[in-house]
Amino acid sequence: MTMTSNTGRNQARPAVNRFSTADVPPRDRLAVLHDIVGRRNLRMEIDPLEGAPVDVKLEWLEFPSVLLTVAATNAIRLARTSELVRDGDGAFRLLQPVSAPFHLACQGMAADRNAGDAMMVFNGAPSTIRLLGQSEIISIRADYDSLAPALRSIEERAVTPLVSTPALRLLLGYATLLRHQEPVEDPVLARYASRHLIDLLALTLGPTAETRERAGGGAMRAARLALIRADVLANLSEARLSARAVAKRHGLSDRYVHKLFEETGQTFGQFLQEERLQRALAHLTDPARMSTPISEIAAQAGFSEPSSFNRAFRRRFGDSPRQFRRGRSDDKT
């Protein structure tokens, strides 16, 4: 089995990689996890804790200078040993075990941490993390040369516990959203996403004045807009969905939400209307929904009145929903 990781090589576009111990013969799982996935690719020792099954699923998305990793795993040990730190890797890695407590040890210090706590781990110093139960682990790895200029100072301690702040929550939300979206094929957009992740990491740790100013007009606004758009898409069926309701969920003013959209050349209302119409269009063209009443499709897309849905659909696509569905049906006969 061959696996590669190109983080730090400034690749033009991100690559998605996946690994599961379930895809490896049982007799080989421990060796593959420890030697190939751990030591060769992630440059960490990975071993299940005593008595825990070898059950690990990894997914990582590579951007220039940044690596996003999500692992779903049983209780495990993650270690940057004295041998491994000789590789000269000075990257920093933000880690957050989502649903299990963990124990960390580094340079004579040991501490127990709760599920959901986040920490920054320096790859240039030995450290060990013992995840004490089944959990998902989110990791954001940033190259030293990219992160250091964005910070007031960069402390090369093995582990730095992080306090939950708006910047940290925004960073984790944006990273999760990038992971669930389709891979960014455009290398320019990939570089922007990488820059935004670096700036949001810096805001979490202590940015320079220049980084704070740049992030305020760039990374923070881009991340908030992306999260708000995802919120809208997740709640399209709510007939009363509004900028005010979305803003409240994100701790923002509705005016700020409107301004974010206006800067893209599209109002919040236009974005909401277009996404509702696109969802209705997808449902009308879905063979599995051919018997679904059009009024139900309208409601699922967030239109409270079939008449308003019909008018909006005709303006956008040139036919009424019924005519459009009939035309699609005729095309297949």
pLDDT tens digits for range 189-217: 678 788 889 999 998 988 889 988 888 87
Q: Which CATH architecture has domain 16-230?
A: Sandwich (2.60)
Q: Which of 9-13, 184-188, 217-221, 293-297 has the lowest mean pLDDT?
A: 9-13
- Under the banding of pLDDT at 50, 70 and 90, the label for residue 182 is low
- Please state, rounded to an integer, the average pLDDT across all residues of the chain: 86
Q: Any idea how long the chain is?
A: 333
| Bridge partner list, 48 | 76
Q: Which residue has the tokens 């035309």?
A: 327
Model pLDDT for residues 293-315, shown as the tens digit of each residue? 999 999 999 998 889 999 999 99
For residue 74, how many other CB atoms are within 10 A of its CB? 18
Radius of gyration of the chain from its Cα atoms, rounded to whole angstroms: 23
Say whether 172 sits in a helix, a strand or coil.
helix
Distance CA 95, CA 148 (A): 18
**Span between the terminal Cα atoms of the chain, in Å:** 48
**Distances in whole angstroms, Cα of residue 60 to Cα of each of 133, 189, 205, 276:** 21, 18, 23, 32
What are the DSSP calls for 16-40, one per residue? EEEEEGGGS-GGGHHHIIIIIIIII
- Under the banding of pLDDT at 50, 70 and 90, the label for residue 186 is low
* Token pair recorded at residue 232: 């809208």
Say whether 300 sits in a helix, a strand or coil.
helix
Q: Is the pLDDT of residue 223 over 70?
A: yes
- Contact indicator for 100, 135 with CB cutoff of 8 Å: yes
The phi and psi torsions of 155 (rounded to 5 degrees) equal -90, 120
Q: Which residue has the tokens 């060769």?
A: 40
Report domain extents, the chain.
16-230, 235-331
CATH fold for the domain made of 235-331: Arc Repressor Mutant, subunit A (1.10.10)
Query: Which residues touch 297 (CB under 8 Å, ≥6 apart)?
Result: 280, 283, 284, 289, 321
The whole-number pLDDT of residue 11 equals 44
Q: Is the pTM of this model over 0.85?
A: no
